[in-house]
Structure 1
């Protein structure tokens, strides 16, 4: 895959329509100082200081900002948001990216926008305080979301299905409704990334890491799963799911398994500090964009591998990968011959 081919793919990304349904969050990063010498006059407890607050989209929202960074101009989100200050921040972040939020709705229940705090204490992430982890959406409200999604699918090239939360929007039972839509819209490409309900995905390309694959199959996860382990168990899972499987292997690379095709790419040799948080979101977004552009699996693997290598080098943030960053990394690791 040459630099001109990468440029050509990015030009195609601008014309595709991608939807994302699932669990949206805001990541709040800030620097934390716990040894301040200040005591609260009201409680007599030590006061901690925060500084440099910065918010970005997390969970399914990180997939969205990765899509936009890749040049996908038409992105629509389908899900829930709370009527609270974190929800207003989420809307601001979506609006700044030009994302269509018409199907991002406020549930009638007492629903909090999910927020993950990311306090940086002496270069390490300290204890988080999270919001929205106990949210639950009623079945009638979910049915209204499905009506909107079904209407949107007639305009989409790709739908990304995300499950991140312990109490997710897409429960095991609700995945049956999603699977019905997968069967009814054969011209739409479906990509799923499910933390715990991956066994309920049928017919879509499912992205898993090796630990998730082992958990979905109910088998032990070796300390260092090799490619033969991934192929053997990936084929076993794919036979059950009926769709392609995309296995991320950390620094070892990525593996793609379909009914009549197996493609693999090795990870890049990277130096310096690395932060793998959100790298799977980058892979999902890049793979979805490549599906929309009808790229060959070998090209999609290489581009996803490059994009993930860009983001893991961005520490203490939910990173994204742009065309210029991907091209720079490509030129430093590959020849265009």
Structure 2
């Protein structure tokens, strides 16, 4: 059957060759890996409000939200960097743009306290440090509910001059790392045409680069792409309305995306696993289901970090994806937090499902 006639994931070959010995080898190699992360760094803020303490305001007909716990962590590309540290990478460097505001200071603090090199982060006047602020209300018997999120966002694209300053930082970072992970998440974020072109240059020089992009996955060339199924289908159809793609559409999208970029592509397909596209061929890398309760927040970041780590350690695409499934499975099992996976947790996951 020709690649253009593929109708379902059952029509393509499967990879099931990962072994415990290979996982141990990959983890050992990761411990020597130097990683660079570039893209949209955000600050994730969490305020836990104890509603038992809430009082009716004297000025408005509303009850207040008494915050009793406050915590913050790197989000978006920052969370990808945290995942690399959790996997045991020897060095993790972070390149992004922050605003000269209190959130930018907290983001840098959140990075450095986790052992991430933030020296490639630049502060740009007129920019806002993106942040996702979440209020979790807790009531009687510990019942919890999340209030509408408060977001800090930029409403204009990064200037050309600022783009060039980020390109210069990328060049400095690329010279000291083995692999580069890219997170292109925000509408008016860090990743523009100049950076995309420079990433292609570094890939042509042998640097291993992987890109995770929410809305611009088709704008990158010469680098490995890692969209999920919806991101790939939205690119393929040029529309955000295609929400239930068929397996045949996913396969067509992946093959076309790989051809367009001139590089391999890895599409994650939820509980079915991932599909690796290379040289006009598609390979299904299945995964094992994770029993509930689960929390998928951050699972894509864990997959990306583990995939690039394994790929940087010398694995072929399908083997790297199989390893990444283990990290993602650990991550989704951590309810109520943006999960990561440590080497010990990955080994435990393998032993549990095999």
What TM-score, normalized by structure 1, do the two folds share?
A: 0.90
1:89 equivalent in alignment to 2:109 = no
- Aligned-partner Cα distance in 1 for 2:194–2:209: 16
1:50 equivalent in alignment to 2:67 = yes
- 1:31 counterpart residue number: 48
- Aligned-partner Cα distance in 2 for 1:223–1:176: 29
- Aligned-partner Cα distance in 1 for 2:198–2:84: 22
- 1:149 counterpart residue number: 170
- 1:189 counterpart residue number: 208
Aligned ranges 1:159-238 → 2 under 5 Å = 159-171=180-192, 173-182=193-202, 185-218=204-237, 221=242, 223=244, 225-226=246-247, 228-238=248-258
Match of 2:34 among 17, 26, 31: 17
User: Is the 8 Å Cα contact of residues 286 and 322 (structure 2) preserved in structure 1?
Assistant: no
- Aligned-partner Cα distance in 1 for 2:196–2:320: 28
- 2:347 counterpart residue number: 327
Count of matched residue pairs = 330
- Aligned-partner Cα distance in 2 for 1:124–1:202: 42
**1:78 alignment partner, SS class:** strand
User: Is the 8 Å Cα contact of residues 233 and 249 (structure 2) preserved in structure 1?
Assistant: no
Match of 1:59 among 49, 66, 76: 76
- Aligned-partner Cα distance in 1 for 2:281–2:86: 29
- Aligned-partner Cα distance in 2 for 1:22–1:186: 20
- Aligned-partner Cα distance in 2 for 1:146–1:14: 28
- Aligned-partner Cα distance in 2 for 1:249–1:70: 23
- Aligned-partner Cα distance in 2 for 1:125–1:210: 27
- Aligned-partner Cα distance in 2 for 1:263–1:95: 39
User: Is the 8 Å Cα contact of residues 207 and 248 (structure 1) preserved in structure 2?
Assistant: yes
- 2:271 counterpart residue number: 251
Aligned ranges 1:85-124 → 2 under 5 Å = 85-109=102-126, 111-121=127-137, 122-124=143-145
Per-residue CA deviations over 1:99-128 (Å, capped at 9, x if unaligned) read 11111010022x222110122244343200
Per-residue deviation at 1:31?
2.6
Name whichever of 33-42 and 93-102 sits farther off: 33-42
User: Is the 8 Å Cα contact of residues 274 and 314 (structure 1) preserved in structure 2?
Assistant: yes
Question: Any unmatched runs of 5+ in structure 1?
Answer: none
Per-residue deviation at 1:189?
0.6
- 1:284 counterpart residue number: 304
User: Is the 8 Å Cα contact of residues 54 and 66 (structure 2) preserved in structure 1?
Assistant: no
- Aligned-partner Cα distance in 2 for 1:34–1:177: 50
Question: Any unmatched runs of 5+ in structure 2?
Answer: 1-17, 138-142
Per-residue deviation at 1:261?
4.5
Per-residue deviation at 1:5?
2.1
Name whichever of 174-183 and 241-250 sits farther off: 174-183
User: Is the 8 Å Cα contact of residues 200 and 223 (structure 2) preserved in structure 1?
Assistant: no
What TM-score, normalized by structure 2, do the two folds share?
A: 0.86
- 1:272 counterpart residue number: 292
1:140 equivalent in alignment to 2:161 = yes
